[in-house]
Amino acid sequence: MVIVAERTQVTAKDFKSNQKSTWCPGCGDFGIQNAIQTALVNSGVAPWQVLFVSGIGCGSKLPDYITANGYMTLHGRGATIGCGAHLANTKLQVIIIGGDGDSYGIGIGHMVHNMRRNMDVVHVVENNEVYGLTKGQYSPTSKRGFKTSTSPEGAIEFGINPLALALAAGATFFGRCYSGDPKYAAEIIQQAMEHKGYALIDFLQTCPSYNKIQNNDWYKEHTYKILDENPSYNCKDPLQAFALAMKDDPRYPMGVLYKNDERPTYAEQIPVYQQNPAPIIEHSLDIPTELFEKIKAGYV
Ligand code: SF4
């Protein structure tokens, strides 16, 4: 969550990148990029106030295609770098971004600890239920029976349930949206950015190259907005959210499915920030010059 008083007037042009996208035509990543840029503009966050941290994968190329601070790390490690950057500069809006393989697979260990620590970051998982960049292997969210090059007779594993996982691990915000409706997705992302604490966005997306079943028509039939179907749904009630996560329904509920504003963030509880809430990068080092030079010499 960035400091509202420092938000400025920005337009979509401010986030435009001169890099040419290498995504396949019709890829859901275009809708995700559109939604994130709209959310940033609507939030009034300037490019220099945002840091995108990604891992490896098709969607992890996104920091190249948006003008803002960006850091592409190792596979699955966006959660660690994003967490470190946030703790060093709590005024930055940190957005960790990666696919379902990157985030729910190799990076899942880092992700659940960011959840339970309530790191004040947004983690967007571009969930197309397949590994796209490496040409179509089944992923941690692939449905049982999904046929790919690595599961020619159908995957025998059950896919991860992101909402149940987030609730069990202590995430304080869970939102879900879909790449075919970027306007609605932008609203969910903006709420995630405004949330004080860890926010996970399970961003469903199409992969026309390697997931030919879950195309736009399929998603239209298999998604619904939670408040349209159940106007009394209370996202602040963890039992309702758990019941929704465990409901036997082939459709995906979308919207803000869980939100807890009561828990302190990790940064709020550590002594250095209790003594001085300014970002650590603005703190005085307060150590003798000779000692600082000695420490520095050890790294060069
Ligand atoms: Fe998008 Fe799939 Fe192509 Fe990757 S392989 S760019 S996810 S359509």
For a ligand 1 pocket test, name from 20, 58, 135 the mutation site with the most ligand atoms within 8 angstroms of its C-beta: 58
What are 127's two structure tokens? 């969930």
E-assigned strand segments in the chain: 50-54, 69-72, 93-99, 122-127, 173-178, 199-204, 223-225, 252-259
Q: What percent of the chain has pLDDT over 90?
A: 93
Please identify which residue in the block is written with the tokens 């019941």: 243
pLDDT for residue 3 is more than 60: no
- Ligand 1 centroid to Cα of residue 214, in Å, is 13
Return mean pLDDT, the chain. Answer: 95
For a ligand 1 pocket test, name from 21, 22, 23, 216 the mutation site with the most ligand atoms within 8 angstroms of its C-beta: 23
Angle between helices 162-169 and 108-117 (to 10 degrees): 50
Confidence of residue 4 (pLDDT cuts 50, 70, 90): very low
pLDDT in tens, 32-84: 999 999 999 999 999 999 999 999 999 999 999 999 999 999 999 999 999 99
Give the pLDDT score at 101. Answer: 96
Three-state secondary structure call for residue 14: helix
Give the pLDDT score at 287. Answer: 86
Let me know if 164 is exposed, middle or buried by CB neighbors in 10 A (0-12, 13-18, 19+): middle
Confidence of residue 246 (pLDDT cuts 50, 70, 90): very high
pLDDT in tens, 142-179: 999 999 999 999 999 999 999 999 999 999 999 999 99
B/e letters for 24-63, b = 16+ CB within 10 Å, e = fewer, are: eeebbbbbbbbbbbbbbbebebbbebbbbbbbbbbbbbbb
Q: Is the separation of the CB atoms in 28 and 128 below 8 Å?
A: yes
Per-residue pLDDT, averaged over 259-285, amounts to: 94
- Letter for the amino acid at 155? A
pLDDT for residue 284 is more than 90: no
Confidence of residue 7 (pLDDT cuts 50, 70, 90): low
Three-state secondary structure call for residue 65: helix
pLDDT for residue 251 is more than 50: yes
pLDDT for residue 6 is more than 70: no
